[in-house]
């Protein structure tokens, strides 16, 4: 499943540079599908959201760091464990029970994001 950040986040920023998919953003910052991926042009994300890869999307949270579910692969294909959860000092990067995905689906998402 994807990982989410809870409102326990203390905005330390440690997780953001660790994400291999650039799925983590600071609160109130617009996100883009193309950030840290090979996505370009009009694309349909795994959730069904169709966007221009370079267009700015609304922040998921205005107050704390957030994870774009469509870009989180739980680090599958890159690392043995979610890197955000590994570095978070307050353990607020947790499994998102609303977005449960199989390992196969996560690897397929990784391939989608990086054009493999």
Query: Binding residues for ligand SF4, how many (CB under 6 A)?
Result: 29
DSSP secondary structure string for all residues of the chain? --EEE-TT-----SSGGG-TT--EE-TT--B-TTTTS---SEEE-TTS-EEETTS-B--S-SSS-EE-GGG--TTTTT-SS-HHHHH-TT--EEE-TTS---HHHHHHHHHHHHT-
The yes or no reply on residue 10 touching ligand SF4 (CB under 6 A) is yes
Interaction residues for ligand SF4, span 67-106 (CB under 6 A): 67, 72-75, 82-84, 87-88, 90, 92-93
CB of 70 to ligand SF4, least distance (A): 11
Query: Among 46, 107, 48, which residue's Cα sits nearest to residue 75?
Result: 107
- Between CA 62 and CA 45 the distance in angstroms is 22
Tell me if 113 contacts ligand SF4 by CB under 6 A: no
Asked if 45 interacts with ligand SF4 (CB under 6 A), we say no
**Minimum distance of ligand SF4 from residue 34's CB (angstroms):** 16
Using an 8 Å Cβ cutoff, are 71 and 22 in contact? Answer: yes
Contact status: 65 vs ligand SF4 (CB under 6 A): yes
Q: Which is nearer to ligand SF4, 6 or 42 (CB)?
A: 6
Please give the residue ranges that form the binding site for ligand SF4 (CB under 6 A). Answer: 3, 5, 9-15, 18-21, 23-24, 65, 67, 72-75, 82-84, 87-88, 90, 92-93
């Amino acid at each position: 499943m994807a990982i989410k950040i809870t409102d326990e986040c203390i905005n330390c920023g440690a997780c953001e540079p660790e994400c291999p998919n650039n799925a983590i953003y600071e609160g109130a910052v617009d996100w883009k599908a193309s950030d840290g991926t090979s996505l370009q042009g009009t694309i349909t994300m795994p959730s069904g959201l169709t966007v221009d890869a370079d267009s700015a999307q609304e922040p998921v949270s205005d107050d704390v760091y957030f994870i774009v579910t469509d870009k989180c692969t739980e680090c599958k294909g890159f690392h043995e464990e979610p890197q955000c959860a590994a570095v978070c000092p307050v353990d607020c990067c947790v499994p998102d029970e609303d977005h449960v995905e199989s390992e196969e689906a996560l690897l397929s998402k990784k391939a989608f994001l990086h054009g493999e």
